[in-house]
Structure 1
């Protein structure tokens, strides 16, 4: 720190007062000085304060706070950060739920408004007793930004605080911008007053958020371009994949609030309140997230969506019960006085002991018949998945062929079999190693190539020589019939069939008769099967039925 004003004693005292303001005990370390993310960067663009949840540590940019002329506001700044941790949002699951609803109402929004939403709630509480401390921060922030033009959204945001804390217009908002903003947005000041009177009186946080979004949309401009910087913004951590996945399933919890918002006139035709397709919703909530992690997050959420679809078709049963039922009887022994009377096998005693049965009974205990740890006879499974352009990218839209492959894969893996995937299209097929768990297989089977279709007969031939006992399933459509039309390719298919335990063609076709004509040489082989699916929507159930026929018996 370049100043001695923030002594350890002073910081500790402000920290105690901030905790006392919320009357909470939090598992956070006392504040430490912020270390610039980039030493050569302008410190005005660094965060003023934030919490590192990994280290459970509060950081404060003391130099920036002093340069803003808000050194006396340290306690209010710390109370603001504690408020995020203790109540608003309190959990990242709630933050994810709001971000999901936000993208439903404001699709394409570049930067989330949730931090601003929480700031309105935190600052209302802190400002009950320390409004001037917070005002000092917002005035100082504008000075450090060079006093340039204020965005409509930030202007409206500051106007709300003026109304909330009983400040004169121009105390926080730039006076020079008041008339132009009122001309550009007629009724802005009246709307800020109405917001301050309505927002904090609403009985439920879901209603608060819907009212917040419906009000602020007027001041955002183009959603895909809107960005903003707040002096106490970007201090809430991002949710993790579990938070996002749970939030994407939370739509039903919002229906009553959405209905009430529509009845109150907050939401109209301009607000899209329909729940989007699941994969479209995943794309919406991840496309604006910073960094390269967005791709990994999206893929993880897509994988979980397909897992739920798979589980709709397959019932996951353990291979062996944890407490097997005892039902096999042991070798008979003479029952003696003091033994358990229920252990007597009276039928066997009468048949063997005759008239002495009553005085010389025999006993047999029950013992558990424990099934084997893995189910015998379940073959290794190779899945050849067509990902040509005739089917959509499974990340963006439901691909029922991909779903069929996932169903077959999960069914085999739940039988303790192993699975190998071959993703193909027109060139360079993707080949996985043998996979032993569902998550790995699910991740691999979400790959997509696109373009034209050319079945990899050379790969089929090579793998059938390596593993002649495998069960092979080809998932495709009418393009496969075109691929196998040449004599050479048909010969390779027949040879691979003879080297497989079973080779199944699971094809989406409107006409089974044509397929039987095209595949006549292969159908003569006892190890070849043709399964035709007429409707793409039937691929999932067809794969479930096929897996039961191939792996359950």
Structure 2
């Protein structure tokens, strides 16, 4: 049962919402906030620890009113609500910007990446609060004064660490307040200098805050190293901890050009310190980083988890390879609209003097008037063409076998071009209307397979992005069982592996020859077979070592006797080019000109 005091508090905060929106703009529109009158209600909204939070998924603001009351902040409805709105309007603003912000923070906090979410929260709070305090004349400083006074009144409260002291000193510099007025502990000259640099950073990069994110984290880094309870005092302000929960993860893979170069101390930025006449050039991206580069799957996973995305490593890998594959897929097939050969009558129109005499429809003219008057009662027929029936071509299904032995990377940790190539080809096949079966294999009894030929994208990518990293033994029984019966539609068999693929020609568990199983599978599949193998490009002409000679002899025999189309890729990275060419050749538009497979 809600008390009268709770009802009154709730109404006061609701009344403050329109004014809080107008602080940013009279055109600002967000859904009404979730003002929770109990801890249970706040927990159901996903709020715990902090007295407020935002959700970027549905552009929401959530406030824990009991905790607000406990902290003595009930009179600051306008300030707190305007601050939360600022996270939607200014920083981070969107899930994509939250991912970018955390990526920069993590790069600037080596070995302390776990602090990136809170450091990012403190940084965006500075940007928002400074704007509200100076431009909207809101009482943002009084909130910190109130919290500091409560800490002073409670002797059991611990003293502030260096990080919180630095953070409060930055606010005091921004708002020209006496040192220590907002709280924090004792400060030396070095800390005061860093606080001045932090305040300068906020002002200089107020309109380009993403660029300065790494600089702010670098400023806090030495204090985080020595402060065991560095971020304890800020626990009530962590309102963006799970801000991106439930959001789409697209756009978090790209490493921006200035991301690594932004992890510099503000003292080395001439725009902030003024120590140099010209701003020094940004640090050049390290090899493999920067312009046009993409993150590894594990790195993407850490960023997403820090943003509140609650996904397993496997689920993140599925999203990672789907997004990386999308730019390389074949175009959606267009459906032709042919016209019928026979013209179809559509109606009548007046026949006028000067038109061809044989165009007159005398029957229809006489029906209009028994005495035809040229140009008045005479009519003629009009004809058109209607769309003909479209006959769809029978799509070729895809039966793909991907090597996951110890020589292959784990797709959930490092980029696996086998998984990426498989994703490009499989998703292209789905676009063309085909069904796909994927078999991931490694050693004996290490096999994972989709339940037959399916059109479930999640299921297909789930198999492709799993990992065994075991021995090497091709699952001959899977190939045998797949083509034990008659198929309704043709299928193309695709092998992605290295020289370990020749284990498919060994005898299976029933004593059947792998050569026989392979030949029967190709015959029943009906659309041929391809092998994309990590081999030397001149494997067919060079002089291999003795132990490789038998492997190459088996591959030549497979090509000669069974018709396997073998493509050598010297580096796994080359599989992406192979996948693009293979997809366009087999699943692209008929008028599309595919590149050569090798």
TM-score range, shorter chain: 0.7 to 0.9
Deviation, 1:69, is 3.9
Asked whether the equivalents of residues 163 and 192 of structure 1 are also in contact (C-alpha less than 8 Å), the reply is yes
RMSD, matched Cα: 4.4
Corresponding residue number in structure 1 for 2:13: 11
Deviation, 1:339, is 8.0
- Residues 1:173 and 2:183 are matched in the alignment: yes
- Residues 1:153 and 2:163 are matched in the alignment: yes
Deviation, 1:424, is 0.6
Pairing partner for 1:489 from 508, 514, 534? 514
Pairing partner for 1:430 from 448, 454, 457? 448
- Residues 1:507 and 2:525 are matched in the alignment: no
CA distance in 1, matches of 2:18, 2:421: 59
Alpha-carbon distance change, 300 to 118 in structure 1, aligned in 2, over 3 angstroms: farther
Counterparts of residues 22-171 of structure 1 (less than 5 Å): 22-24=24-26, 25-29=28-32, 32-36=35-39, 46-51=49-54, 58-106=61-109, 109-111=113-115, 112=117, 113-128=119-134, 129=137, 130-140=139-149, 142=151, 146-171=156-181
Asked whether the equivalents of residues 50 and 59 of structure 1 are also in contact (C-alpha less than 8 Å), the reply is yes
Asked whether the equivalents of residues 332 and 432 of structure 2 are also in contact (C-alpha less than 8 Å), the reply is no
Asked whether the equivalents of residues 199 and 211 of structure 1 are also in contact (C-alpha less than 8 Å), the reply is no
Corresponding residue number in structure 2 for 1:304: 322
Pairing partner for 1:218 from 211, 219, 222? 222
Alignment coverage as a number of residue pairs:
516
Deviation, 1:189, is 1.2
Deviation, 1:465, is 0.6
Corresponding residue number in structure 1 for 2:494: 473
3-state SS of the aligned residue for 1:155?
helix
3-state SS of the aligned residue for 2:177?
coil
Deviation, 1:429, is 0.7
Asked whether the equivalents of residues 398 and 491 of structure 2 are also in contact (C-alpha less than 8 Å), the reply is yes
3-state SS of the aligned residue for 2:158?
coil
Considering fraction of residues, name the structure with more helix: 1
CA distance in 1, matches of 2:403, 2:315: 25
Counterparts of residues 145-544 of structure 1 (less than 5 Å): 146-174=156-184, 177-178=185-186, 181-182=187-188, 186-202=189-205, 203-221=207-225, 228=232, 230=234, 232-236=236-240, 237-239=242-244, 244-249=249-254, 251-252=256-257, 264=270, 274-275=289-290, 277-279=294-296, 281-286=299-304, 288=306, 292-295=310-313, 298-308=316-326, 311-312=327-328, 314-321=329-336, 324=337, 329-331=341-343, 365-368=384-387, 371-372=390-391, 374-376=392-394, 378-426=395-443, 427-433=445-451, 434-436=453-455, 438=457, 440-468=459-487, 469-482=490-503, 484-485=505-506, 488-501=513-526, 502-510=528-536, 511-512=539-540, 514=549, 515=551, 517-519=553-555, 522-523=558-559, 525-526=561-562, 528-544=564-580
Deviation, 1:411, is 3.4
Alpha-carbon distance change, 455 to 305 in structure 1, aligned in 2, over 3 angstroms: same
Alpha-carbon distance change, 232 to 415 in structure 1, aligned in 2, over 3 angstroms: same
CA distance in 2, matches of 1:270, 1:519: 45
CA distance in 2, matches of 1:68, 1:159: 22
Superposition TM-score, scaled by structure 1 size: 0.77
Alpha-carbon distance change, 337 to 505 in structure 1, aligned in 2, over 3 angstroms: same
3-state SS of the aligned residue for 1:98?
helix
Alpha-carbon distance change, 299 to 226 in structure 1, aligned in 2, over 3 angstroms: farther
Alpha-carbon distance change, 492 to 189 in structure 1, aligned in 2, over 3 angstroms: same
Greater mean deviation of Cα atoms: 449-458 or 519-528: 519-528
Greater mean deviation of Cα atoms: 69-78 or 155-164: 69-78
Deviation, 1:419, is 0.8
Corresponding residue number in structure 1 for 2:363: none
3-state SS of the aligned residue for 1:110?
helix
Question: Cα deviation per residue 1:355-392 (whole Å; 9 max; x = unaligned)?
Answer: xxxxxx999745545643x422x332211111111111
CA distance in 2, matches of 1:165, 1:365: 77
Deviation, 1:416, is 1.2
CA distance in 1, matches of 2:584, 2:57: 46
3-state SS of the aligned residue for 1:246?
coil
Alpha-carbon distance change, 548 to 86 in structure 1, aligned in 2, over 3 angstroms: closer
Deviation, 1:551, is 5.4
Asked whether the equivalents of residues 69 and 136 of structure 1 are also in contact (C-alpha less than 8 Å), the reply is no
CA distance in 2, matches of 1:200, 1:548: 52
